[in-house]
């Protein structure tokens, strides 16, 4: 009987200490009060076009929102990853590096760097190789866009 009471008190105090640890829940409506108004992307044309359109689609329609201006510098590096015995290229490695500068209402400025990489195989037909590269670029651009939004959320949430 006393052992059960001691155990229940111990569990109660453990739960109480965990509930009052001081952590705050991150606001999942990370850009609900913010609007990306100006997106300036410099670098590879295809990547710039897709990334700019993906970031523009994250617009809000609320009034009294703060404006975010973004400047992104993109560097794409395509290198040989593997060769076969006949010294023919079998795989390429593509690395995309995005340097992001942001300004929130001319008050908060900052920058961060995002890097993504992936590889694609060389196919028998050249058109299939180009399609493999396009698919990889789309995946990498989606990952970069998500990381940009996440980084903006964490930087703005710290205000």
Specify the pLDDT at position 99. 95
> Considering the entire predicted model, what is its pTM?
0.74
Q: What 3-state class would DSSP assign to 35?
A: strand
Query: CA of 153: how far to CAs of 6, 63, 148, in Å?
Result: 44, 19, 8
Handedness of CA 56, 62, 63, 65 (dihedral sign): negative
CB of 115 closer than 8 Å to CB of 144: no
pLDDT tens for 82-109 read: 999 999 999 999 999 999 999 888 788 8
Q: What is the mean pLDDT of residues 19-46?
A: 69
Task: Of 108, 114, 12, 28, give the one whose Cα is nearest residue 67.
Answer: 108
CB of 98 closer than 8 Å to CB of 74: yes
Specify the pLDDT at position 1. 72
Beta sheet of 66-83, edge-to-edge order: 34-42, 66-83, 89-104, 108-121
Give the integer Cα–Cα distance in Å for 117 and 143: 10
| Backbone angles phi and psi of 147, in degrees to 5 | -70, -35
Query: Confidence band (pLDDT; 50, 70, 90) for 55?
Result: confident
Domain spans of the chain, in order of start: 29-157
Question: What homologous superfamily is domain 29-157 in, according to CATH?
Answer: Lipoprotein like domain (3.30.160.150)
């Amino acid at each position: 009987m006393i052992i059960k009471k001691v155990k229940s008190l111990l569990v109660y105090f453990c739960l109480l200490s965990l509930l009052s640890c001081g952590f705050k829940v991150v606001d999942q409506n990370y850009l609900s009060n913010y609007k990306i108004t100006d997106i300036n992307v410099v670098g590879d044309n295809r990547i710039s076009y897709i990334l700019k359109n993906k970031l523009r689609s994250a617009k809000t329609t609320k009034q009294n929102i703060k404006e975010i201006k973004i400047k992104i510098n993109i560097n794409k590096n395509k290198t040989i990853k593997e060769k076969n015995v006949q010294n023919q290229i079998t795989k390429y490695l593509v690395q995309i590096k995005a340097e992001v500068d942001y300004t929130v209402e001319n008050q908060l400025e900052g920058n961060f760097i995002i890097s993504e990489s992936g590889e694609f195989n060389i196919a028998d037909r050249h058109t299939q190789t180009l399609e493999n590269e396009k698919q990889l670029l789309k995946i990498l651009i989606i990952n970069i866009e998500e990381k940009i939004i996440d980084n903006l959320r964490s930087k703005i949430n710290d205000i």
